[in-house]
């Protein structure tokens, strides 16, 4: 195997040392660069220095039997990949578990934050609907003034909802009062 490697390197050197013929085909700089990179990769493969491709999955994969963290599971499915016998598996397992605990904590925090904002928005919308059904235009106007400040929705959504209730205050309710 080493003999083949030496022959290959010698042939590559011969190719490099050959004089450039002006009548020969011209190669663009980009092609030369790519060819050089390809040759480097081939040399590394032959020497065994090029590591193989390793796939890493970044997809969230919850475990079904995890009751501690409300459905937040470990991303590796319970198996710690071996690094080819290198390193200590105990340290790797501890790192993975520590990282997963941090991820679970962050996900729980985000979930609870989302629930709080969702609850607040639903409460405010229900309150404004009740004021609308009671035809309390003054109370609804006050609620609409503070709605954008306390709303957890995107500003565009809050504007649409405010416009909807404003329309009812200015157009629909006055017409019903005159009937």
**Residue ranges per domain, the chain?**
112-178
Could you tell me if 66 and 73 are in contact, meaning their C-beta atoms sit under 8 angstroms apart?
yes
The number of beta carbons lying within 10 Å of the beta carbon of residue 49 is 8
Could you tell me if 54 and 12 are in contact, meaning their C-beta atoms sit under 8 angstroms apart?
no
The pLDDT score that the predictor gives to residue 46 is: 79
Q: What does DSSP assign to residue 172?
A: I
In tens digits, the chain (179 residues) has pLDDT values of 677 777 777 776 666 655 555 566 678 888 888 888 888 888 887 777 766 666 666 666 666 654 444 444 444 444 444 544 455 556 787 888 888 888 888 888 888 777 777 777 888 889 999 999 898 989 999 999 988 888 878 888 888 889 999 998 888 888 776 76
The pLDDT score that the predictor gives to residue 98 is: 83
The helix/strand/coil state of 58 is coil
The number of beta carbons lying within 10 Å of the beta carbon of residue 128 is 20
Helices (H), the chain: 2-17, 29-47, 89-133, 137-150, 155-167, 173-178
The pLDDT score that the predictor gives to residue 176 is: 72
C-alpha–C-alpha distance, residues 152 and 116, integer Å: 9
C-alpha–C-alpha distance, residues 34 and 40, integer Å: 10
Give the contacts of 173 (CB within 8 A, at least 6 positions apart). Answer: 132, 135, 137
C-alpha–C-alpha distance, residues 29 and 35, integer Å: 10
The pLDDT score that the predictor gives to residue 16 is: 61
Number of residues that this document lists for the chain: 179
C-alpha–C-alpha distance, residues 165 and 130, integer Å: 12
pTM flag (> 0.75): no
The pLDDT score that the predictor gives to residue 55 is: 62
Q: What does DSSP assign to residue 171?
A: I
């Amino acid at each position: 195997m080493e003999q083949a490697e030496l022959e290959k390197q010698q042939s590559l050197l011969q190719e490099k040392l050959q004089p450039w013929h002006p009548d020969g085909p011209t190669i663009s700089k980009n092609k030369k660069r790519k060819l050089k990179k390809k040759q480097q990769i081939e040399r590394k493969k032959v020497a065994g220095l090029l590591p193989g491709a390793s796939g890493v999955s970044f997809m969230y994969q919850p475990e079904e039997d995890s009751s501690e963290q409300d459905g937040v599971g470990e991303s590796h499915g319970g198996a710690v990949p071996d690094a080819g016998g290198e390193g200590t598996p105990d340290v790797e397992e501890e790192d993975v578990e520590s990282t997963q605990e941090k991820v679970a904590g962050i996900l729980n925090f985000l979930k609870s934050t989302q629930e709080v904002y969702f609850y607040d928005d639903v409460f405010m919308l229900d309150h404004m609907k009740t004021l609308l059904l009671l035809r309390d235009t003054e109370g609804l106007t006050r609620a609409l003034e503070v709605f954008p400040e306390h709303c957890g929705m995107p500003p565009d959504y809050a504007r649409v909802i405010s416009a909807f209730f404003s329309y009812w205050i200015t157009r629909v309710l006055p017409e019903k009062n005159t009937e």
